[in-house]
Structure 1
């Protein structure tokens, strides 16, 4: 073929347009090209329901067992995740607990509130045993649960109150479960003994002696026999002061009144400090203002206690934990006997760093809870800011125990964290370099929004990385529903201040006019 004929044929052959347009349509004037491709609608269903839609159905790529927590940042797939469901149903973790880490203001409490809300729908009772901010009062109120307020002049918690143990023991005995009834009463006695010893430890900054421990134990038993109704610390003090024969026998006073008074003098002084309104006030010296129930969500609101009162915070948190887990044991005993349905509880320990620093013995208490939650039928969520908070305790022994909280957790959920945290975090849970960079990027400060003159949304707000052991982390974004927005405002006091300020400014402007 000559060049001339080839040229003529090229000119004669019209350009062939593709039968199907490209993804964004044909470009050009009047041809319907689009700069933005709208995402198609999505529906979710089981493989049985959507099998006829092949090949238009895709797998989620993330576990779908548990509370819908958020969407995968890369794929958009929904992640369902909570420590109880992943332990009980999915068998993905060996311990029903989660540890949440992240800088303030990025949504850690909001994430745990989402878990608590979803688990409540599954029949799991949320227990917030010490809300220091408070962050969970609105949530528990919306669920129709109990809000128990504690603090100076606001509420009292009697550490000698056995709670629902006495009633449960009567029910067990009536049904022929004598052994179980004795176990319930023995557990209640042990908790009361432990709490009295803990309060004395906080008062003295040193634990009671072995002899004093024995005296407290025997005095409580005498009190249970002699006292009608629920005793208080003042009744325990009176028994020790009167010195019945059972107490004198364990005090080894040798029949000498003067010797008995010398032996019990320090113990008596400590109890007077607890009863008479020392630095712990009268919080534990009166009858419980509002007893806790086992059949409803509960939050202990201790936000009225100032951060400067570290001893009172420590004592109150210990008392809340003792009352809460005592109620859980009663529920388990009744369920084991077939007298009530089995209940599971989701215990939330928010601001854990404040609890650990609140006083001596707090680390050991949390350590015991994290080791026994599986046997108690209890899921747990512990929340703190950084690993440095856990490793800033006074003794090396406490620091190693606190690090173990993260290592033993079934899952670790991390928000934005500074780069200095990565070596400490990586020593507890392995993180890849890409995962570390992701967490570091989420803690960056927000940019200014020139259109509004205010700060934009922080880049890491609502974003978390879910880690289970050495598996790759799942990055998710948590978006609140309209129903959740009203119970997830942790800056109410600032909004009130802004409104008052706006009214004042408006009034000032009106006066000037």
Structure 2
């Protein structure tokens, strides 16, 4: 027998040599006929038979039931008084325990407590008391914000909803003993020139604080009128028109005794006083002044009931806002087909509401009223942003200084595409800044197409993105009942703070919350 070797053919006719090679030992050459010496055999030790035990995943082997995934043990939280018998057996928590209890973490099972005010004020986890909530319709965006509003009310924070379109929050505010202001065609009026209690509060303040509060009220009214004109036209007023409006408002405050309305502002412009003609640059020609102010007069007439926005802004405010209780502006009477009126109503509610909060904070700074904090809910943000070019600046001016005002804020929309579908690149970048400036971002189920846009603002891992995409999966048909099953992602949310790992959480409603969270009330028992 021969073996082929890289250096040639080597004969192998010695069985002893082959046995030694199999043992990995080099054979020594011996005289012909002499056998290789054999090693003495080792004595075998008796085999120790140990009893079979289960591993940490269970019994191994065929049919034994070993598991490939070990489910996390259930966790409970409580004070040392509540769980005194279990006190020695404690474990560190993986989720923050400061704030409103939202639900259980989907990864560790621990309770997640989360709201923008508690995480900013007490836990020091975020630098800005605001949150941006994203998610497809029907997955519970309003529900998680209602949970936070309810919990913050228990902490002494007043939730205020500046424009409830469905309504999603009116029942909750009523249950908390708050104020629900109804607006709509023939249902209520909101005067954007109403300074609220600014003048009465300013009379109680020192000189410097008085000037600051009155200047703030003047700026809000000017911004509100310009915003309504933007919604009506689809474009913002020109610089000269805003200057005319600014001067006309100052003249109106000097001449008018009481609270003016838009009709009074129009009358001042039509009177053509010298101060207005000067800023209009009519060059001493009255006909030129009429030509310059013609479009402005036409827009104001359209806001007095003769335009598509109706008469909701033409009359005195039907119900002033209270500062010491939860408040909801219910604009659900406005039909979804009237998108311009909806956007105008939201902007007017925001301006009026933030004005009332400024009065409360000015009085608290002077020691004339107790300090109050507010949780402001701005739902359906996309409706305002799409109503006209330049409205992003108006919203940005209203929402930028929430930390200095002692106000927590929740801004809600469906997808990032709502913010990036604006006509100009400048507006898109400003709208994107709403998400970037938010202290935390809470996302429900979103389609895969949204992930690149969201990831450019809030860094997410691939596992987090897959989880959010899975939550947007459509529900399966329940053939046993002949109806659609609940969506897989119903009540699931991802809480992200900057570049930190996201916290997936599931929100379950308590029996006390079921009635105030019924957004399908008009469908009977649905």
TM-score band w.r.t. shorter chain: 0.7 to 0.9
Computed over aligned residues only, the root mean square deviation of the Cα atoms, in angstroms, reads: 2.9
Name the residue aligned to 1:148. Answer: 181
Aligned mates of 2:479, 2:280 — CA distance in 1: 75
1:294 aligns with 2:323: yes
Deviation at 1:72, TM superposition (A): 1.1
Aligned residue number for residue 250 of structure 2: 221
1:373 counterpart SS class: coil
Please, which of 393, 398, 421 is the counterpart of residue 392 of structure 1? 421
Deviations 1:128-176, CA, capped at 9 Å, x for gaps? 111122111111111111111221111111111110101111222xxxx
Structure 2 equivalent of residue 195 of structure 1? 224
1:98-109 to structure 2, matched below 5 A, reads: 98-109=131-142
| Structure 2 counterpart of 1:84, from 117, 132, 137 | 117
In structure 2, relative to structure 1, the CA distance for the partners of 1:417 and 1:17 (3 Å cut) is closer
**How far off its partner does 1:255 sit?**
4.9
Q: Does 1:164 align with 2:197?
A: yes
1:495-510 alignment runs, 5 A limit: 495=524
Residue 52 of structure 1, CA deviation: 7.2
- The two structures have a TM-score, normalised by structure 2, of 0.82
Task: Pick one of 387, 394, 398 that aligns with 1:365.
Answer: 394
Counterpart of 1:405 in structure 2 is 434
1:304 corresponds to: 333
Alignment check: 8 A CA contact 1:165 1:185 kept: yes
Deviation at 1:372, TM superposition (A): 1.5
The question of 1:284 aligning with 2:317 is answered no
Bigger Cα Rg: 2
Verify the 8 A CA contact 1:169 1:185 in the aligned structure 2. Answer: yes
Q: How far apart are residue 16 of structure 1 and its match? A: 9.6
**Matched residues in 2 for 1:256 and 1:366: separation?**
37
Q: TM-score, normalised by structure 1?
A: 0.84
Evaluate the alpha carbon distance shift between residue 417 and residue 197 of structure 1 in structure 2; reply closer, same or farther with a 3 A threshold: closer
State how far apart, in whole Å, the 2-side matches of 1:341 and 1:81 are: 26
332-341 or 187-196, larger mean C-alpha shift? 187-196
Provide, for residues 416-439 of structure 1, a one-character-per-residue CA deviation record: whole Å limited to 9, x for no partner.
111222212111111111111111
Q: Deviations over 1:38-57 (max 9, x none)?
A: x9997533468767745422
From the superposition, tell whether residues 351 and 268 of structure 1 become closer, same or farther in structure 2 (CA, over 3 Å): closer
Separation in 1 of the partners of 2:78 and 2:379?
35
| Conserved? CA contact 2:444–2:468, under 8 Å | yes
Residue 97 (structure 1) aligned with residue 130 (structure 2) = yes
> 1:22-421 to 2 correspondence within 5 Å?
44-46=77-79, 53=86, 55-172=88-205, 177-253=206-282, 255-421=284-450
Q: How does 1:2-41 map to 2 (within 5 A)?
A: none
| Cα offset, 1:300, TM superposition | 1.2
Equivalent position SS for 1:171: coil
Confirm or deny: 8 A CA contact 2:80 2:87 kept in the other structure. no
Q: How many residues align?
A: 468
SS of 2:296's partner is helix
1:203-238, CA deviations, whole angstroms, 9 ceiling, x for partnerless residues? Answer: 333333333323322222222222221111111122
Question: Aligned partners of 1:41, 1:472: CA distance in 2, in Å?
Answer: 22
8 A Cα contact 2:101 2:111, kept in partner: yes
SS of the aligned residue for 1:372 comes to coil
| Conserved? CA contact 1:314–1:362, under 8 Å | no
Q: For 1:217 and 1:41, how far apart are their aligned partners in 2?
A: 62
In 1, distance between residues paired with 2:261 and 2:199?
16
Say if 2:496 is the partner of 1:467: yes
Can you list the C-alpha shifts for 1:281-325, whole angstroms capped at 9, x where unaligned? Answer: 111110011111211111111222223323222221111111011
**More off after superposition, 136-145 vs 256-265:** 256-265
* CA gap 1:210/1:409 in 2 versus in 1, 3 angstroms: closer
Residues 315-342 of structure 1: per-residue CA shift (max 9 Å, x gap): 2111111101111111111111111111
Residues of 2 paired with 1:189 and 1:351: CA distance?
A: 27
Q: Where does residue 31 of structure 2 map in the other structure?
A: none
**What SS is found at the alignment partner of 2:104?**
strand
Unaligned runs of 5+ residues in structure 2 are 1-45, 59-71
